[in-house]
């Protein structure tokens, strides 16, 4: 969690910024972090960092185009030193991966002091916001990152129709209660062309209650829900395909091609947290000569991934039970051989 000193510092930096630029990761934790921060003063612009674990020079043109007075980086796993050097503006990075040693910015990461800490960026941004009207946004962001927030009982009191059980588990909240549908909606509207993602996120910043979306009470809510429905059709088809890949093996491996939207994280999470908790799950999407993977397990998997990558053309990392990796197609079989060896 952020300290009181860090909370005060970030609130002041936001309050004194006339044109902040927010870079945020393309998952619900990232977008919920952005919405919470943006809604504090409704100043500036958000830029989604799509399909890459690193914020690098490819997005520097967004800094030049928007001429911000400050830059805030939210939930992006890695940041390139060259980019920070080129920004030449006060830069603030709030994250829960790594940690990494990047110069020239203010870095807020609970893992610096405690490497085992797991606090989603959304939870830290809600510390800065503390706006009860946006408690539902904070809850969606935390649950999506597989974290049951300490304020879950307050959420249940405010929205009993979404979470009728204060004593809920993570699995129940995400896969059995209505709040879980919102988690899915926030994930799915981040898929597809960047122009459609940006439009959806802009609309989300204007939505005040979860009922606007789930009950389609407003034009904005109807737009979000209908976009979710169209994307969900593709997802449910993939779930059926993935379930056909289940064998007696400890490893559940499912590949699909680049001509479909990326559902690797969503599929991996549902398979291991809801359907097959005893499996180690790899969902791999083939794209541009690479296998882009989401890896999940109920037991620690990060060290196994690290060892499996030795001698392989690729990279990866993440949390103890949830990792990502990108492997060159020609190294794929070697990686699988190594990984199977490590999880025996």
Mean pLDDT along residues 306-315: 95
Residue-wise pLDDT tens digits, 244-265: 999 999 999 999 986 667 899 8
Per-residue pLDDT, 260 = 66
Q: How far apart are CA 36 and CA 320, in angstroms?
A: 27
* Mean local confidence (pLDDT), 8-36: 97
Q: Domain segments of the chain: what residues?
A: 4-214, 245-342
Give one word for 46, left, alpha or beta, with left for phi > 0 and alpha for psi -120 to 50: beta
Mean pLDDT calculated for residue range 123-131 = 97
What pLDDT does residue 268 have? 94
In this prediction, residue 98 carries a pLDDT of 87
Residue of 290, 305, 297 lying closest to 268 (CA atoms):
297
pLDDT at 51 over 70: no
50 pLDDT band (50/70/90 cuts)?
confident
Assigned CATH for 245-342 = 3.10.310.40
Residue 52: which pLDDT band, with cuts at 50, 70 and 90?
low
Domain spanning 4-214, CATH architecture? Alpha-Beta Complex (3.90)
Angstrom CA distances, 290 to 117, 185, 258, 325, 334, stand at 31, 27, 10, 10, 14
pLDDT above 90 as % of the chain: 91
The string of pLDDT tens digits covering residues 82-111 is 999 999 999 999 999 989 999 999 999 999
| This prediction's pTM | 0.89
């Amino acid at each position: 969690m952020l300290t009181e000193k860090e909370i005060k510092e970030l609130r002041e930096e936001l309050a004194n910024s006339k044109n902040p630029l927010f870079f945020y990761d393309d998952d619900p934790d990232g977008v919920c972090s952005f919405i919470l921060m943006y809604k504090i003063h409704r100043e500036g612009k958000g830029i989604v960092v799509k399909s890459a674990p690193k914020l690098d020079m490819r997005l520097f043109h967004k800094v030049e185009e928007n001429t911000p007075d400050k830059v805030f980086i939210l939930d992006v796993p890695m940041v390139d030193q060259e980019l920070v050097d080129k920004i030449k503006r006060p830069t603030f990075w709030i994250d829960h991966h790594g940690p990494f040693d990047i110069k020239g910015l203010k870095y807020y990461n609970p893992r610096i002091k405690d490497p085992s800490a797991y606090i989603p960026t959304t939870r830290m941004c809600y510390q800065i916001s503390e706006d009860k009207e946006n408690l539902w946004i904070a809850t969606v962001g935390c649950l999506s990152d597989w974290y049951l927030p300490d304020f879950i009982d307050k959420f249940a009191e405010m929205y009993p129709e979404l979470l009728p059980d204060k004593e809920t588990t993570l699995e129940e909240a995400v896969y059995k209660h209505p709040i879980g549908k919102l988690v899915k909606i926030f994930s799915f509207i981040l898929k597809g062309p960047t122009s459609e993602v940006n439009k959806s996120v802009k609309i989300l910043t204007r939505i005040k209650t979860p009922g606007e979306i789930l009950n389609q009470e407003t034009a904005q809510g109807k737009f979000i829900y209908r976009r979710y429905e169209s994307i969900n059709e593709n997802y449910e088809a993939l779930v059926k395909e993935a379930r056909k890949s289940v064998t007696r093996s400890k490893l559940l491996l499912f590949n699909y091609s680049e001509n479909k939207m990326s559902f690797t994280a969503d599929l991996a999470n549902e398979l291991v947290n809801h359907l097959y908790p005893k499996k180690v799950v790899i969902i791999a999407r083939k794209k541009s000569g690479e296998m882009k993977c989401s890896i999940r397990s109920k037991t620690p998997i990060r060290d196994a991934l690290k060892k499996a990558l030795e001698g392989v053309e690729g990279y990866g990392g993440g949390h103890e039970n949830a990792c990502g990796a990108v492997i060159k197609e020609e190294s794929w079989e070697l990686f699988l051989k190594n990984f199977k060896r490590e999880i025996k």
